[in-house]
Amino acid sequence: MAFLPAAGVVMILVGVASYYATRSLHGMSAFSAANVAIGLVLLVIGAVAQARRFRGFSGAESRRVVLRWTAILVGALVLVVGLDVWARVMTARIDLTVDRMYTLSDESLLLCKELEKKGGPPVELVFFEDALLAKDVRLLVDAYDDTCPGVKVRDASRREPPQAARDIYTTTATTVIACRGEVCDPVGYPSERNITTAVARFTREHAIRVYFTIGHGEIDLASESETGFSGIASLLRDQGFDPQAFVGPAASEVPADADLVVVAAPERDLMPEELAVLDAYLTRGGRLLVLADAGQRSSFYSEFLPRWGFTLDDAVVLDRASSPLLQDPKPVNLIVHTFAPLNPVTRNLSARTMLLLPRARPVELARKPAPDDKLERAAFASQRAWVSRDVAAALAGKDVEPPDAKDSQQISIVATGLYPRGNGEEDTSHQARIVVIGNRDFASNRLLEALYNRDLFLNAVRWLANDEQRIAITDKAWTPVQDPLTLQTTVAYFYFLAFALPEALLLLGIFAWWRQQT
Amino acid sequence: MIRRLAALSRKELRQLFASPIAYVVLTVYVALTGIYFFQHLVSYNQLLFVYQSEGMTGGGFDQGTVPSRINVLNEVFVPSAEDFGLFLLVVLPLVTMRVFAEERANGTDELLLTSGLRPYEVALAKHGVTYAFVLLLLLGSAIYPAVVVLRAGLGMEHLVALVIGQLFYGCAIASLGLACSAFTSSQIVAAVLGYAIPFVLLDFAWLSNTVSEGVAAVLREVALLSHYGSFARGVIELRNVVYFAGVVALGWLASVASLELNRAR
């Protein structure tokens, strides 16, 4: 009979092991289930047989000891379970990751307070436990559950999603879906920024409407090619914005529901009527984002922007340090790593979070339109950069030598303007705002995700749309250095770690055995 | 009491390191962890190469084109730490199987219990020495995650979280193995049970499709792996600390109970 429990244990182990080996094919197979079930039965039969043979505690004192220790063990088990339940309720944790990956930032916590104050049904984060990235973000999702009273986390399986989430297109990478009532939105890559943005969407009355002017050779939001800009349209939708086209000549004014207008690299002149419409919009406290490209000569740059305090010379910024980038020998691919620390558009950018701006155009400040206006330069080329006014030659790779006597002033690529026109400084939501970025290609499909280009674009849009709170939430770094070990270094470590160290330990073991024998 | 504990611990230590088994276990563990760490590093380097090649990025420049989610933490550090946990389960029962069972088989347990030592002191010394051996195992393999920490800038705090987690996890497995050893005089039976119980407790994912959501949640709470993962990610959670401390305490109490029952028999 002693064979039975051992056979039972073996069958349970085989059942569990076969499940792990084949679970990706068909989950729990009949073979695995049968092994576990029969193994359990054998264990019980063996235990009963052993118990019947048990004669060890026939005396009264022995029985008292057995009872006492059984009671102690049961009591200890109950105590441990109780403590475990208490610890789960307490949800205390210490986050020792380098960038505090799993601790919500102050901005997210502020949003949580907003949600709590507004009341209403909680935002539900449907967390797919079987998604590709589930293990990586479980702790982050738990942080919302633990510290955000208006947000509840619901574990779900991709095979059987909750009813509200069934109509949403999901992939194996979809880990989190944010829902409120019957309305659900998938969260893109489940970082804190994206989850908080998804939650924030439910606190807004309507999506932030962004109008892009068209008809003057501006960027093509529909083009999915490398040089197209469909990426920013997707990004804006994903972040809770609603991008729309604004046909300037056909409209007498900017639509009333516009939260901001984007003039993205017009190649041709805007009609005077269109410029007047934009002027009137800004005077009413409108918001404008301008992307400019080197070599463009639209009246928008030469006539309209100087009226609001910006000068965009017909020039291109060159920097030799960045020549190897994009496998382009011409020094036109600018790396930007110097930022105005207090400017709202660049305040979360630093030397560690650089931008890649090919064919950048200098953006300088002109005279303020009104004394109270606040104009500020926000991002700068490096000290070695220079400006070439022969744009065609520079872009063709001809005029690529820096001048002998370079102007020591830093060259600005991004500038912002704030225009408190009689609305009082207290009410910032009605101040006109402009952001001018002397570059277009950084937002192209090819480069939007390169370095921190995406952050610059989103920061600008968020500041213009009075959504500054979200600017400070940066995607935290998983690891500061992404490629710490080359293959050669790895092999060197391998020889030491997998061979030399175990060898030394084995030699020690042989020595111990030899000493024991002698 | 401290002197008695110290003397017994010294004896246990001498016994452990006089036989080659401790060195074999150390060697196997360090070799296994080294090989698997190397495999993860090579796979990660290959992944980086694919991402940095022209075809994937369209750009071909090194830094920045690799998505941030492809990183040494997720691709090397965490999977290695999870593997290390499984290897602890493979090697620890080899150490724990003899601790009590050998004494019982040789009849020296009665000598111990009649020498003025209380059962809880005997259990405390034997558990303590085994946990110290677990710590030694972990320090031997901590070199691998330390390499990642130093080269990738993960921060020493993250390494501390991992070692604390491994120590809790290793002590829990050792404690279960010691409890099994305390209830039998056969080292083979102690080893089989020392493998079987932690292996079944390891992860109840295999049952999650066949039981209700509530039962699955309870089983998740009982499983060893679901409490270990967050340490590898650099987070120390109170509930995980309480869980592992609870398992260690129950294993120790079971050992004491076994010694008490043996004395009363």
- The angle formed by the CA atoms of residues A178, A183 and A189, to the nearest 5 degrees, is 30
- Mutation to test the A interface, candidates B15, B154, B219, most A Cβ within 10 Å: B154
Question: Which candidate from B30, B41, B210 shows the least CB-CB separation from A502?
Answer: B30
By C-alpha distance, which of A462, A137, A231, A326 is closest to B64?
A326
Which residue in chain B has the smallest CA separation from A2?
Answer: B189
- The angle formed by the CA atoms of residues B21, B139 and B252, to the nearest 5 degrees, is 65
Confidence class for position A473, pLDDT limits 50, 70, 90: low
Tell me the per-residue pLDDT of A352-380, one tens digit each, with 9 for 90 and over: 678 889 899 999 999 899 988 999 999 99
Determine the distance in angstroms separating the CA of B38 from the nearest CA of chain A, rounded to an integer: 6
Tell me the torsion sign for CA atoms A503, A508, A512, A514. Answer: positive
Mean pLDDT, residues B180-206: 85
Which residue in chain B has the smallest CA separation from A325?
Answer: B61
Tell me the per-residue pLDDT of A101-123, one tens digit each, with 9 for 90 and over: 899 988 888 888 888 888 888 88
Mean pLDDT, residues B76-92: 89
Fold of A98-197: Glutaredoxin (3.40.30)
Question: Which candidate from B17, B72, B147 shows the least CB-CB separation from A482?
Answer: B72
Q: Is the pLDDT of residue A50 over 90?
A: no
**Residue A78 burial (CB < 10 Å; 0-12/13-18/19+)?**
exposed
* Segment 457-486 of chain A within 8 Å of chain B by CB: 475, 477-486
Query: How high is the pLDDT of residue B61?
Result: 41
Query: How high is the pLDDT of residue A184?
Result: 82
DSSP letters for A434-445: EEEES-SGGGST
pTM: 0.72
Which ipTM did the prediction report? 0.84
Under CATH, domain A207-313+359-382+412-470 is a member of which superfamily?
Answer: Class I glutamine amidotransferase (GATase) domain (3.40.50.880)
CB contact under 8 A, B31 and A28: no
What residue ranges do the domains of chain B occupy?
A: 2-59+67-264
Cβ–Cβ < 8 Å for A47, B231: no
The one-letter code for the residue type at A86 is W
Which residue in chain B has the smallest CA separation from A3?
Answer: B189
Mean pLDDT, residues A415-425: 76
Query: How high is the pLDDT of residue A212?
Result: 94
- The angle formed by the CA atoms of residues A244, A250 and A252, to the nearest 5 degrees, is 95
**CA A422 – CA A371 distance, rounded (Å):** 12
Q: Is the pLDDT of residue A313 over 70?
A: yes
Residue B81 CA from chain centroid, whole number: 10
Query: How high is the pLDDT of residue A401?
Result: 74
Between A148 and B63, where is the model more confident? A148
Residues of chain A with Cβ-Cβ distance to B158 below 8 Å are 96-98
The one-letter code for the residue type at A475 is D
**CA A300 – CA B106 distance, rounded (Å):** 96
**CA A69 – CA B145 distance, rounded (Å):** 42
Confidence class for position A475, pLDDT limits 50, 70, 90: low
CA atoms within 13 A on the CB side of B202: 20
Residue B151 CA from chain centroid, whole number: 25
CB contact under 8 A, A490 and B60: no
Q: Is the pLDDT of residue B239 over 90?
A: yes
Alpha-helical (H) ranges within chain B are 2-18, 21-52, 54-57, 72, 78-106, 108-113, 119-141, 143-152, 156-182, 187-202, 213-222, 225-232, 238-264
Cβ–Cβ < 8 Å for B218, A52: no
Between A212 and A187, where is the model more confident? A212
Between A157 and A208, where is the model more confident? A208
What residue ranges do the domains of chain A occupy?
A: 3-90, 98-197, 207-313+359-382+412-470, 484-518
